[in-house]
Amino acid sequence: MEPTAPTSDAPITITVAHGDGIGPEIMEATLRILEAAGAPLQYDTIKVGKEVYTSGHSSGIAPESWDTIRKNKILLKAPITTPQGGGYKSLNVTLRKSLGMFANVRPVKSVAPFVASPHPQIDLVIVRENEEDTYAGIEHRQTTEVTQTLKLITRPGSEAIVRYAFEYAKAHGRQRVTCMTKDNIMKLTDGLFHKVFDEIAAEYPEIEAEHRIIDIGAALIGAQPDSFDVVVAPNLYGDIISDIAAEASGSVGLAGSANIGTEVAMFEAVHGSAPDIAGKGIANPSGLLRGAIMMLDHLNLDRLAETIENAWLATIEAGIHTGDIYGENSTRKVGTAEFADAIIERLGQTPETLTPAHYTDAEVSVGVHPTPRAEKTLVGVDVFLDWDESGRQPDVIGNALRELDGEGLRLKLITNRGVKVFPDGLPETFWTDHWRCRFVATDDTVTPQQIVALLGRLADNGFDAIKTENLYLFDGERAYSLAQGE
Ligand code: NAD
């Protein structure tokens, strides 16, 4: 979306959801601060969360609310309570995926020494891909012993998130973008993400680009979070490192987050609905307020975003703190409403020690280029069998399958959990009931009809084929992984 700067007489209508638990309290405080700062906003309110879940909507949102969100394009959402028990789908995942919010942006910045932090210099932003990876939620149980999930990494999805990370870095004066993947193991999926990162990094020579393997990268975010600037990662790694980074800052309760799509964007606090303190008037509204500040930045209301953030920083600096962050550098313990009052009193002030906020008018543009179609050649098939006979001896199944070679396909090898067990496997390898049998073309290519014929021969001989994966070359390059030991 390309937000347009509002004129003074044209307020922007956004959608607001007050949520559950402490949600209504912190939303009330946040909206009061926005109003006192003169934010040119008006609100359409929708209900999401516990009440909506228990009234029969399994995703926690009523059908009519979708229209409101899609019309206004901006949603400011307080945390909700997900009811216990099965059958309820995550509202956040439903919103993100249905509305194409591909980027989750989570800045983590310390306000030490006013709020104690083990890493007082931390100032990083995690940009997490929001829709793909193992979160596609495509899972199957295939045999008695084996389950699987599909990890989907796409070129357009990778391009959108990586470009967003660089655009975000450019617009926010950041120097470096670090990509984290496990492409030493997942050469096709994570390898694609890394390759797209390298391609897009070349378009931003003014920003330093680096790649780290996720395991050491995550360890470094925990140990030295102040050495990172912007970090971009696929969904699962991004989910994990967002929490590591927030934890390393020492104040999960202070963080806001944005979910950005090409049309719709959603802003919220990182924390949950804190039912243990709901209704007591003591919750810290900072997380939601910082989500709202990200929203103002997104709407190109930069001066307003600065004014509110600076007033918030000045309040933190003055030691006026809610109970969750009250410590040795605090001067006054306040509740939610008093904390909001203190921020309102400081509108127009800038912090003296902490770095004042500064937002620019730079647009964070989003978008992907169409992927040119690749030429695909079918060169074989992996057939997965559920087989639990003859003490699971690989030679028994291997020799039986070799009898079924013919019609353009021959058995090349069998693996169990990715490790070659036939021919010439090792007796130490553990065998489950799930066998990947790789049949390759005896000529340069094979036809789908020849694969179907092979499946027919397998069925006729009592083999239980539970899944197939075609083996392709794309533009002449092998587009499937080799087995361990192949
Ligand atoms: P939580 O973040 O709600 O609470 C964890 C702890 O932090 C609690 O002790 C709580 O009192 C404290 N806390 C959280 N926010 C605070 C604030 N603003 N001020 C002061 N203290 C604060 O996590 P949880 O207890 O695991 O989850 C509670 C509910 O929230 C669950 O139903 C969960 O599903 C939901 N949840 C919702 C969202 C969301 O809507 N985005 C995110 C996370 C969890």
Predicted pLDDT at 215: 97
Contact between 236 and 133 (Cβ < 8 Å): yes
In a domain, 113, yes or no: no
231 in the same domain as 128: yes
Domain that holds residue 342: 1-102+250-357
Give residue-wise pLDDT tens across range 331-379: 999 999 999 999 999 999 999 999 999 988 777 877 778 888 999 999 9
- Given a cut of 50, whether residue 3 has pLDDT beyond it is no
Predicted pLDDT at 2: 42
Contact between 189 and 157 (Cβ < 8 Å): no
472 in the same domain as 382: yes
H/E segment holding residue 413: strand 409-416
* Domain of residue 203, CATH code: 3.40.50
Total domains in the fold of the chain: 3
Residue from 273, 276, 290, 321 to probe ligand 1 pocket by mutation (most atoms less than 8 Å from CB): 273
* Mean pLDDT of the region 105-116: 93
Predicted pLDDT at 288: 98
Q: Which residue owns the Cα nearest ligand 1 atom 38?
A: 272
Q: Which residue owns the Cα nearest ligand 1 atom 36?
A: 272
Give residue-wise pLDDT tens across range 437-485: 999 999 999 999 999 999 999 999 999 999 999 999 999 999 999 987 7
444 in the same domain as 334: no
H/E segment holding residue 435: strand 434-441
User: CB 417: neighbour CB atoms within 10 A?
Assistant: 14
234 in the same domain as 123: yes
Nearest Cα to Cα of residue 101 among 92, 111, 90, 109: 92
349 in the same domain as 385: no
In a domain, 450, yes or no: yes
Strands 477-478 and 464-474: antiparallel
Angle, helix 214-223 to helix 235-249, in steps of 10 degrees: 10
For residue 285, the CA-to-ligand 1 centroid distance in Å is 12
In a domain, 363, yes or no: no
* 8 confidence band (pLDDT: 50, 70, 90): low
Q: Which of 357, 384, 409 delimits the end of a domain?
A: 357
In a domain, 368, yes or no: no
Q: Which of 357, 385, 405 delimits the end of a domain?
A: 357
- Given a cut of 60, whether residue 221 has pLDDT beyond it is yes
Q: What is the pTM of this model?
A: 0.91
* Mean pLDDT of the region 137-153: 95
For residue 288, the CA-to-ligand 1 centroid distance in Å is 12
398 in the same domain as 424: yes
- Given a cut of 70, whether residue 5 has pLDDT beyond it is no
* Mean pLDDT of the region 267-296: 96
Q: Which residues pair with 125 in a beta bridge?
A: 107, 230
Q: Which residues pair with 475 in a beta bridge?
A: none
Predicted pLDDT at 211: 98
> Between these two residues, 485 and 303, which has the higher pLDDT value?
303
For residue 478, the CA-to-ligand 1 centroid distance in Å is 47
H/E segment holding residue 449: helix 448-460
* Domain of residue 393, CATH code: 3.30.70.1570
In a domain, 371, yes or no: no
> Cα 250 to the chain's mean position, in Å?
21
* Mean pLDDT of the region 392-397: 95
Give residue-wise pLDDT tens across range 163-212: 999 999 999 999 999 999 999 999 999 999 999 999 999 999 999 999 99
Percentage, residues of the chain above pLDDT 70: 98
329 in the same domain as 296: yes
382 in the same domain as 456: yes
For residue 91, the CA-to-ligand 1 centroid distance in Å is 15
* Domain of residue 269, CATH code: 3.40.718.10
382 in the same domain as 330: no
73 in the same domain as 165: no
* 243 confidence band (pLDDT: 50, 70, 90): confident
Q: What is the identity of the amino acid at 215?
A: D
Residues 6+ apart with CB under 8 A from 401: 411, 414, 437, 458, 463
CA of 287, closest atom in ligand 1 = 18
In a domain, 365, yes or no: no
Q: Which of 323, 357, 391 delimits the end of a domain?
A: 357
- Given a cut of 80, whether residue 9 has pLDDT beyond it is no
In a domain, 301, yes or no: yes
For residue 325, the CA-to-ligand 1 centroid distance in Å is 15
Nearest Cα to Cα of residue 285 among 230, 332, 325, 331: 325
H/E segment holding residue 334: strand 332-334
Strand ranges across the sheet with 265-269: 41-46, 12-17, 74-77, 265-269, 256-260, 103-109, 123-129, 230-233, 176-181, 208-213
Q: What is the mean pLDDT of the chain?
A: 93
172 in the same domain as 66: no
For residue 313, the CA-to-ligand 1 centroid distance in Å is 23
459 in the same domain as 427: yes
- Given a cut of 50, whether residue 1 has pLDDT beyond it is no
Nearest Cα to Cα of residue 98 among 61, 128, 123: 61
* Mean pLDDT of the region 33-46: 97
Query: Within 6 Å (CB) of ligand 1, which residues are found?
Result: 22, 26, 79-82, 92, 253, 268, 271-277, 283-284, 287, 324
Q: Which residue owns the Cα nearest ligand 1 atom 27?
A: 272
For residue 94, the CA-to-ligand 1 centroid distance in Å is 19
In a domain, 245, yes or no: no
Predicted pLDDT at 117: 87
